[in-house]
Amino acid sequence: MPEFTIVLGNKAYSSWSLRGWLPLKLSGASFDEIVIPLRESDTKARLLEASSAGKVPVLKTADGPIWDSLAIAEYLAERFPDAGLWPEDPRARALARSVTSEMHSSFPALRNDCPMDVRSRYRDREFSESTRQDIERITSIWRDCRARFGAGGEFLFGGFCIADAFYAPVVSRFVTYDVALDSVCSAYRDAVMARPEMQEWIDAGHAEPWTMEFDV
C-alpha cells in the first residue's frame, strides 16, 4: 500500500497542487492521488473532508494530514533527507528557502492576471504594470540563483529542488501567456518544461474532462 495520498485540484489549473505534488515525486515515495475538481457544486465539501483548511494540496500521512504546499515540501525534505529536496550547501539552501517563501507569499498580480492553464496559449497579451513588476522580480530571482548557485545543473540551484517546484507553475504561466524572456530565463523555462514530472502533470491536465473559464 502506498505510504502517502496526495489530494489535488485539477492538474490543468491548480498551481498550488503542482507545488505540493512535485516535491512528492522528487522524494521517490509511493503515493496515491485524489483529484478534486475545483469550482464544482461539491468542491468545498470535498476539500473540507480532506483537511480543515478546505484547500488543496493536502498530503495524507501516518502523522496526519499536512496542508499547504510549503508545509508539505518541508515535511518531505525532513522525511527524505537524501532526496536532495533542498540544496546541500547552507548558503544555497538559505537562498532557496527565501525565494521559495517569496513565491509562496507574493506575486498576486501575476496570479490574478495569468491563472495557470496548462492547456491554453495566449499571444500578444498586454500585462498590467503590477504584473510586469512581478515578472521582473521573478526573472531577477532566477538570474541571481542561476548565476550564484546554478553551475551544477540546469535549475536554480543546479539540481531540481523545492525552489524549482515552487516556480514551476510560473514557468507554465510564462509558456501559456508567451512571456518574453532573456537567454538565461528562457533556458531555465525550457529545462523545467522538459522535466519528465512536468510532462506527466501537463499530460494529465490535458486528459482531464473539466474546463474552467477565465477572464483573460
The residues that touch ligand GSH, with contacts defined as CB under 6 A, are 9, 14-17, 38, 44, 47, 55-57, 68-70, 104
CB count in 10 Å sphere of residue 153:
15
Q: For residues 104 and 132, which CB has a smaller minimum distance to ligand GSH in the complex?
A: 104
Closest by CA to 80, choosing from 4, 27, 30, 31, is 27
Residue 124 C-beta: closest distance to ligand GSH, Å: 27
Please give the residue whose beta carbon sits closest to ligand GSH in the complex.
55
Residue 57 C-beta: closest distance to ligand GSH, Å: 6
Instruction: Write out the H or E segment, with its range, that includes residue 60.
Output: strand 58-61
Q: For residues 47 and 141, which CB has a smaller minimum distance to ligand GSH in the complex?
A: 47
C-alpha cell at 121: 496559449
Residue 107 C-beta: closest distance to ligand GSH, Å: 12
Q: For residues 20 and 158, which CB has a smaller minimum distance to ligand GSH in the complex?
A: 20
Residue 211 C-beta: closest distance to ligand GSH, Å: 16
Residue 76 C-beta: closest distance to ligand GSH, Å: 14
Q: For residues 76 and 185, which CB has a smaller minimum distance to ligand GSH in the complex?
A: 76
Q: For residues 56 and 198, which CB has a smaller minimum distance to ligand GSH in the complex?
A: 56
Residue 75 C-beta: closest distance to ligand GSH, Å: 12
Sheet holding 58-61, edge to edge: 31-35, 4-8, 58-61, 64-67
Residue 114 amino acid letter: C
CB count in 10 Å sphere of residue 211:
11
3-state secondary structure of 4: strand
Q: How far apart are CA 121 and CA 86, in angstroms?
A: 32
Q: Provide the angle, in degrees to the nearest 10, between the axes of the packed helices 183-194 and 196-207.
A: 70
DSSP state of 126: P
> Grid cell 529542488 — which residue?
161
Q: For residues 9 and 158, which CB has a smaller minimum distance to ligand GSH in the complex?
A: 9
C-alpha cell at 184: 538565461
